[in-house]
Amino acid sequence: MSRGTFYSHNKVGETMSFKTDSPPHPGSFDPRVSFGYGSDRVSWDLGNGSGYTAGNDISHIYPDSSIKTVTLRTNRLERLEAIDAEQENIVGNLDLSGWVNLSNGPDLNNYNQFGVNPQLTGITNPISNQLITHYNIYNSNITGTLVMSGITKLGGYFDVARNSDLINILHGPSTQAFNVRYHAYNCGLTGNLDLSMLTKLGGDFKIQNNLLLTGITHGPSTQTFTNYHAYTCGLTGNHDMSMLSALGGQVYLYNNGPLTGLSHGPTTGNISRYWVHQCDLTGNLNLSMFPKIGGDIQLYLNPNLTSVTHTANTDSSWTRYSLHSCNITGNHDMTWCPILGGYFNMSTNPNLTGVTHTASTNIFTTYALTTCNITGNHDVSMLTGLGGSFLINRNSGCTSISHAASTQTFTNYEASECGLSGTLDLSMLTGLGGAIDLSLNTTLENITHPLSTGTFSDYSAHGCILSSIDFFPLSGATMSTIKLYDNNMTSTEVDTLLWKFYELNFIYNQVGWSACTLEIGGTNAAPTSGPPYDGITAKNRLINDYGWSIP
């Protein structure tokens, strides 16, 4: 008897079985398969004593959720090409070793799916040289090592994420493009994951939240990456990405405590976010091969990172550049970025002596250089959109700040505990307001204010050597608290200042200056009755007539 005649007369054919504890609710058990060639049909023994039911698709409601053994029968398993077994409550291992022609199926989005089976602990894959561009075991319980090495044309869409006991994935060589996704995040991947045989890896690459994953080995790939996520893992030492020539999108490698370095090669991709904060990057980070980086760079909390090298970039507008709490040393060059704006923070770099900018009209929401070693004049006169929070506190060597005209609203302007000397000119910042802190600049003699109608929640310039200071440009503003104590003012200077504050209320009737709190004691002399101004009378009228508090 010929083989074909045998198969056509054989009533058993070839079978595969698996277990399910599908619960009793509508449509709870509805797997389906498809054929690559031939006219065979399949039959299903649902393990409920009813015998076989014919059909490529099946839908059954079990009366209970006990474990049943389901048997699929067909003449030749090799003719089956695809299976959809998602959310079928499969228990244990699914043996697909007889599916030697496992491939795409007629609907790429709905076949070779085994995801959301929380008791599925393993899949025995076949040896197949057919094209597979959709393979999904998302959110199941695959345990140990998933062997994919027999599938030689894997690509497209590969998703094994959220399998917390999956510790390794073994691939075989594949030249197929991963142009949709490679997801293996929130698993238990351990040690090094070798992907060097996937020569067209790309798409949406997400492998984050694998705490025991210490390395990823890549092979050369020209495939475009839309994202590269490997954050909150255990990546150790230098992570080599230099062979990925089309890296782009969001590059997330943050929260890898043992990660000391990154190697990149030139890329044609647009990188919209580059987050490698809270690692142990050491020495220089070279990003000079990224001419299209922009949007959002976060490299903060790398205490051994001493410098970052960039190249000229005009392609993206910026929302964030965060390099605080590192060890950036010397001058940091930002002249490569004529479109800087948004949130800029390089605070807490104790060896940072300067930041060099080029002209930018973009709006800043934060500009922070607190607790560094900024020395001499800090020039931000080329940043015409400066506003929001401007913070340069605790830079004892910073002797002056140069600004350009800006109409942006300030919520904070803080330059306390610096070495500001002479006159600080703020007259060009017409949106000045919020909290102003210029205290403890022991050689600061004067402050030139802008014509501003802003609301000032707190104005501190104590611990300086202010001899005279003109608040009349701020007469249209709303003022709450003014701290000018410990300025070594003479009685004449105190009298003059009190009388000018009185004039703002009495002569100019500025309602925004009523009920202020003025702290003007300490090392300042007590007010007198003049001449030329009667400071005692001015103080009493401010308190009694206009509700001021003057301790």
Nearest one of 152, 36, 143, 23 to 83, comparing CA atoms = 36
Residue 63, in any domain of the structure? no
Residue 257, in any domain of the structure? yes
Measured at the CA of 483, the angle between CA 480 and CA 486, to 5 degrees, comes to 170
Residue 133, in any domain of the structure? no
Nearest one of 261, 194, 206, 250 to 232, comparing CA atoms = 206
- Provide the number of structural domains found in the chain: 2
What is the token pair recorded at 159?
């998703």
Residue 129, in any domain of the structure? no
| Residue 235 contacts residue 253 (beta carbons within 8 Å) | yes
Residues in the chain: 551
Domain residues for the domain of 486 are 409-551
Q: pLDDT band for position 13 (50/70/90)?
A: confident
Residue 467, in any domain of the structure? yes
What percent of the chain clears pLDDT 70, i.e. is strictly above it?
96
DSSP characters for 119-177?
EEEEEE---B-S-EEEEE-TTS---EEEEETTBTTEEEEEE--S-TTEEEEEE--B-S-
Shared domain for 304 and 420, answered yes or no, is: no
Shared domain for 312 and 423, answered yes or no, is: no
Check whether 159 has a pLDDT greater than 70.
yes
CA 415 vs CA 366, 380, 412, 421, 440: distances in Å: 14, 14, 10, 12, 9
Instruction: State which of 316, 340, 372 marks the end of a domain.
Output: 316
Shared domain for 309 and 425, answered yes or no, is: no
Shared domain for 296 and 148, answered yes or no, is: yes
Residue 285, in any domain of the structure? yes
pLDDT at 294: 81
Shared domain for 308 and 453, answered yes or no, is: no
29-38, 259-268, 367-376, 415-424, range with the lowest pLDDT: 29-38
What is the token pair recorded at 353?
């002596």
Residue 71, in any domain of the structure? no
What is the token pair recorded at 70?
């389901």
Check whether 3 has a pLDDT greater than 60.
no
pLDDT at 506: 78
Shared domain for 186 and 293, answered yes or no, is: yes
Instruction: State which of 316, 331, 363 marks the end of a domain.
Output: 316
| Residue 364 contacts residue 346 (beta carbons within 8 Å) | no
Summary mean pLDDT of the chain:
93
Shared domain for 425 and 290, answered yes or no, is: no
Residue 95 parent element (H or E)? strand 90-95
Instruction: State which of 282, 316, 350 marks the end of a domain.
Output: 316
Q: pLDDT band for position 11 (50/70/90)?
A: very low
Q: Is the pTM of this model over 0.85?
A: yes
Shared domain for 548 and 429, answered yes or no, is: yes
pLDDT at 316: 67
Residue 384, in any domain of the structure? no
Shared domain for 189 and 311, answered yes or no, is: yes
pLDDT single digits (tens) 396-446: 999 999 999 999 999 999 999 999 999 999 999 999 999 999 999 999 999
